[in-house]
Amino acid sequence: MNKMVEVLILLAIGIAAGTLSGMFGVGGGVIIVPALIFFLGMSQHQAQGTSLGLMLLPIGILAAWNYYKTGNLDIKAGLLVAAGFVVGGYLGSKLSLSINELTLKRIFGVLMLVIALRIIFFSK
């Protein structure tokens, strides 16, 4: 694949994930991981690692600022979830890296399916 095409695909994935993150609070697992696998042929592990790596930077700061300005950001809750995320991210990555790729893809797919069905059939 041409490097320029790859750069454009990566930027498009970022724009799509950022837009959906700003709209719905989703991005990494739901948008970025499948897009990296489908469009760039990354392995499940590579896509998950890349998705986690980009979260190290303050990618959501402007979206969070907009929510904060309208009173829709609970800073205390966010910090507590972030603290849990650090521990959970470490433990989850250790577990994920010990699972073969096909099994990991299937677990990920089932998780996305369960979430989708719950949203479709049990939302009020």
Ordered mean pLDDT values, 10 residues apiece, the chain (124 residues): 93 87 75 90 88 78 88 86 86 92 92 90 86
Long-range contacts of 110-117, Cβ-Cβ distance < 8 Å, separation of 24 or more:
112/29, 112/30
Angle, helices 44-54 vs 75-97, to 10°: value is 150
Find out whether 36 and 13 touch, Cβ atoms under 8 Å: yes
Predicted confidence at residue 103, as pLDDT, reads 94
Predicted confidence at residue 121, as pLDDT, reads 94
* Spatial distance between the Cα atoms of 4 and 85, rounded to a whole number of angstroms: 34
| Domain hosting residue 74, numbered range | 3-122
The one-letter amino acid code at 49 reads: G
* Spatial distance between the Cα atoms of 22 and 37, rounded to a whole number of angstroms: 22
Predicted confidence at residue 119, as pLDDT, reads 86
Domains: count for the chain: 1
* Spatial distance between the Cα atoms of 42 and 47, rounded to a whole number of angstroms: 6
Which residues make Cβ contacts (< 8 Å) with residue 63, sequence separation at least 6? 18, 21, 22
